[in-house]
Chains A and B, each alone.
Chain A
Amino acid sequence: MTTTDAPVAPELRGSHRLTTAKAMVEAIELEMRRDPSVFYIGEDVGAYGGIFSSTTGLLDTFGPQRVIDTPISETAFIGLAIGAAVEGLRPIAELMFADFMGVCLDQIYNHMAKIHFESGGNVKVPMVLTTAVGGGYSDAAQHSQCLWGTFAHLPGMKVVIPSNPYDAKGLMTAAIRDDNPVVYMFHKGVMGLPWMAKNPRTLAEVPEGDYEVPIGKAAVAREGGDVTVVTLSLSVHHALDVAEKLDGSVSVEILDLRSLVPLDREAILASVAKTGRLVVVDEDYQSFGLSGEVAATVTDVDPGLLRAPVVRVANPDTPIPYAHALEYAILPRQDRIETAIHRVTRA
């Protein structure tokens, strides 16, 4: 278990304030400078800079040979990236929205994820699949899903999901350097984009130079003793809002998973062993997914750690509505998280 609030000796390396989007771009830029085999490919990743600012400025720095705009054929360009990876390059392929996985899933889960296994470990696929996830801005049912539970369910891919600028940079560096396929899922609401709902935690000090956030390690976003909230991505910010509001009455510990594959089960168990109460907050669909997996992580080892039943705050298995009021009713926002915390602490 590690914490995110102590970047490596920032006073020695210098640091600067960056949004999550700019921190992600900085990691890509540093790795592209360091390693000529790294390139970025996807829709609108060149002149446009990524529709959620995941590649702003990279085309100007590296040119169209290494920052490649593609036609709208996810199967073709993700397949191209897989081919390039098995031949020794380190592609980063961007699937504009995770919701679009349906048109290219064969390339992702039958090829990218399985080539290493099927070759008896002889062929590596050192690529990163970046993709935007999440709702909260009325982009409706086909552009607002998280779907990380689906990627994590399919074996053969690492899955990382940063919630803040420091982790966004460090996880991107680690993902690029990893010899396995890594799915890097960024929530639009944590990127610090000027046209999204303002979130002060999406702009923070980030060390200059390169560093890695280890894949598979959760972080304690806030220490507490009464209840553990296990969550990730934008929901970390919502949970922190609630914890700050309840400060003085309920002591809330927040665990930011940061990676789903591998899942830091030890960190979950360590926190629940301390608090005895567990709330799982997940913007993905509730059934057959992350929230059940986190609960099972505890009950598989020792159900006696729990002093109250686990409460899940997730999408109640419905497509995401366009209408603002309906969308906010199904998203795991502050009101539902606070209710859940009261439910487990009064049980």
Chain B
Amino acid sequence: MSDVLFPALSEKQPDSEGVLSAWFVTDGETVREDQLTAEVQVDKVSAEVPAPQAGVITLLVKEDETVVQGTPIARIT
């Protein structure tokens, strides 16, 4: 099992908040390792979030929700 974390886009301010812009997978979907799961954004910088391992993904955050960097946004089992 591994958590999918909101990536650190701002190194200077580790507690920066960002937005989960889009999910490319649905809750309960089976994903491959490195498969694109989400796109996130801090200010106007966006980043893609690949799956850290293969498995079944459980989404923990909704689209357009604001979270702090490093927060788990999904879990893969």
Is B25 in contact with A194, judged by CB distance below 8 angstroms? no
Summarize A's interface: helix, strand, loop or mixed: mixed
- Residue of chain A at shortest CB distance from B20: A194
| One of B19, B23, B24, B26 near A194 (C-beta < 8 A) | B19
Q: How far is the CA of A57 from the CA of B77 in the complex (A)?
A: 28
Task: Judge whether B12 is part of the interface by a CB distance below 8 angstroms.
Answer: no
Contact string, A9-33, partner B, CB cutoff 8 A, digits 1/0?
0000000111100100000000000
With contacts A194-B39, A198-B64 taken as known, whether A203 is within 8 angstroms of B44 at the C-beta atoms is no
- Residue of chain A at shortest CB distance from B47: A194
Q: How far is the CA of A198 from the CA of B21 in the complex (A)?
A: 9
Q: How far is the CA of A194 from the CA of B36 in the complex (A)?
A: 15
In A174-200, which residues have CB < 8 Å from any B CB? 192-195, 198
B40 to chain A: which residues have CB within 8 Å? 194
Q: How far is the CA of A22 from the CA of B39 in the complex (A)?
A: 11
Q: How far is the CA of A203 from the CA of B22 in the complex (A)?
A: 8
In B24-53, which residues have CB < 8 Å from any A CB? 24-26, 36, 39-41, 44, 46
The range of chain B's interface size is: 10 to 19
Nearest Cβ on chain A to B1's Cβ, whole angstroms? 23
Q: Which of A192, A195, A198 has the most CB of B within 10 A?
A: A195
B23 to chain A: which residues have CB within 8 Å? 17
A193 to chain B: which residues have CB within 8 Å? 46
Q: How far is the CA of A314 from the CA of B40 in the complex (A)?
A: 34
B36 to chain A: which residues have CB within 8 Å? 16, 22
A19 to chain B: which residues have CB within 8 Å? 22, 39
Is A195 in contact with B64, judged by CB distance below 8 angstroms? no
| One of A17, A22, A192, A194 near B41 (C-beta < 8 A) | A194
With contacts A194-B39, A195-B46 taken as known, whether A17 is within 8 angstroms of B64 at the C-beta atoms is no
A195 to chain B: which residues have CB within 8 Å? 41, 44, 46
Q: How far is the CA of A213 from the CA of B64 in the complex (A)?
A: 32
Nearest Cβ on chain B to A20's Cβ, whole angstroms? 12
- Residue of chain B at shortest CB distance from A19: B22
Is B39 in contact with A18, judged by CB distance below 8 angstroms? no
Q: How far is the CA of A310 from the CA of B21 in the complex (A)?
A: 40
Q: How far is the CA of A19 from the CA of B39 in the complex (A)?
A: 10
Nearest Cβ on chain B to A88's Cβ, whole angstroms? 34
Q: What are 19 residue pairs bridging A and B, where the CB atoms are less than 8 Å apart in the complex?
A: A16-B24, A16-B36, A17-B25, A17-B26, A18-B24, A19-B22, A19-B39, A192-B22, A193-B46, A194-B19, A194-B21, A194-B22, A194-B39, A194-B40, A194-B41, A195-B41, A195-B44, A198-B64, A203-B24
Interface, chain B (partner A; CB < 8 A): 19, 21-26, 36, 39-41, 44, 46, 64
Interface, chain A (partner B; CB < 8 A): 16-19, 22, 192-195, 198, 203
What are the 5 A-B residue pairs with the smallest beta carbon separation, nearest first? Answer: A194-B21, A194-B41, A17-B24, A194-B46, A195-B44
